[in-house]
Amino acid sequence: MAQLQQGGPDEKEKTTALKDLLSRIDLDELMKKDEPPLEFPDTLEGFEYIFNEKGQLRHIKTGEPFVFNYREDLHRWNQKRYEALGEIITKYIYELLQNECHLKKVTLPVDAIETEPKSFIFMSEDALVNPDKLLVLIHGNGVVRAGQWARRLIINEDLDSGTQIPYIKRAIEEGYGVIVLNPNENYIEVEKTKAQIQLSSDISDEPAEKRERKDKIQKETKKRRDFYEKYRNPQKEKETMQIYIRDNGSPEEHAIYVWDHFISQSAAENVFFVAHSYGGLAFVELMIQREAEVKNRVTAVALTDSVHNVWHQEVGKTIREWMRENCCNWVSSSEPLDTSVESMLPDCPRVSAEDKAFNGSSPGRRLIAASRLQGHQLSVWGTFSIRYRTP
């Protein structure tokens, strides 16, 4: 009590309020609110969803769109469920690329041995032998994989908005060979052994004295932390480590590898790129590393909301000049489609993608690059037609 009095009336009032708050919390009841097991179906049907004839994801029984908040007040569990569904959809898109678009899956590295991590790309049967034209597709960064523009659009809109399939089909119809890159498939994850977990916790550059103080604090608080851990994170997930894929450990490495082993070896006189978001950065890095080859083979590049930066990437003058003549970047804008948009960077022209999709829950416009991509698809193909060098 003496300590409380020394703290003054304000401190006493805070202490009383805290005691009152704690008295209202039933810890035993909180502990009963453990989240369900993080175990989810491994098929769309198991989730009770299916893509209808319009390519929209719908519930099998109700016909309703996907619901993220399947269980109230369990955001972490709902997010894990969403991610599990996303992985199934990725495999579903792979199947569509093979069965509907008739692309073949090619393993990377090309000389991979049985025991090493591997990636893959997709390509049409004539991708390397088509003497006329070749289309290369590069998606952006994040969870998307080959054949996708945006997972969120696939789940909440439809397959045409969120996948590259419309582009692939049109390219094949117009006589293009097609190569679909997979720049985010950079590593595999394996569970850490107990020895590896202990080793990673022991490794530190801190001075011994500082590390000892930290260990002491951790030991003093461990009991409290463990008590609340079951409520905060009731299912302690396994610790994993990443094993990177040889020569494909980043989107930039992947783009260069596919260029060296496939695109540059193709017979096509005219090579075209469509690159979205980080895919644009990967293409610019490819230009930096293979400038002469790219200039000699690539006819036109369509970028969509590309995040490349000619200053940060230290792009030379000759590349910037080539980009001004051979690239076009469609960006988010309320201006009419193909209207010129001012840019602070001295590289390729920027034009409007005429983003008219509104999000009712926010005051601004919704940035849906893949939808805009489909909206100005004719413009992209028009660019290719203008740049196309007929034999």
Q: How far apart are CA 208 and CA 213, in angstroms?
A: 9
Phi, psi of 343, deg, nearest 5: -130, 145
Helix (H, G, I), strand (E, B) or coil at 206: coil
Q: Which helix (H) or strand (E) holds 341?
A: none
Q: Which of 277, 332, 333, 352 is catalytic?
A: 277
**pLDDT given at position 29:** 47
Q: Single out the residue of 146, 91, 90, 143 nearest to residue 121, CA to CA.
A: 146
Give the residue ranges of DSSP H helices in 164-301: 165-173, 194-202, 208-232, 251-261, 278-289, 291-297
**pLDDT greater than 50 at residue 365:** no
Helix (H, G, I), strand (E, B) or coil at 211: helix
What are the pLDDT digits (tens) for 204-260? 555 666 666 656 666 655 555 454 444 445 555 667 788 999 999 999 999 999 999
Confidence of residue 389 (pLDDT cuts 50, 70, 90): very low
CB 124 within 8 A of CB 185: no
**pLDDT greater than 50 at residue 66:** yes
Confidence of residue 366 (pLDDT cuts 50, 70, 90): very low
CA end-to-end distance (rounded Å), the chain: 94
Report for 260-269, 302-311, 354-363: range of highest mean pLDDT: 260-269
Q: How far apart are CA 23 and CA 198, in angstroms?
A: 39
**pLDDT given at position 358:** 30
- Told to judge if 277 belongs to the known catalytic residues of this protein, a careful annotator would answer yes
Which domains are delineated in the chain? 39-100 (no CATH), 103-188+245-388 (3.40.50)
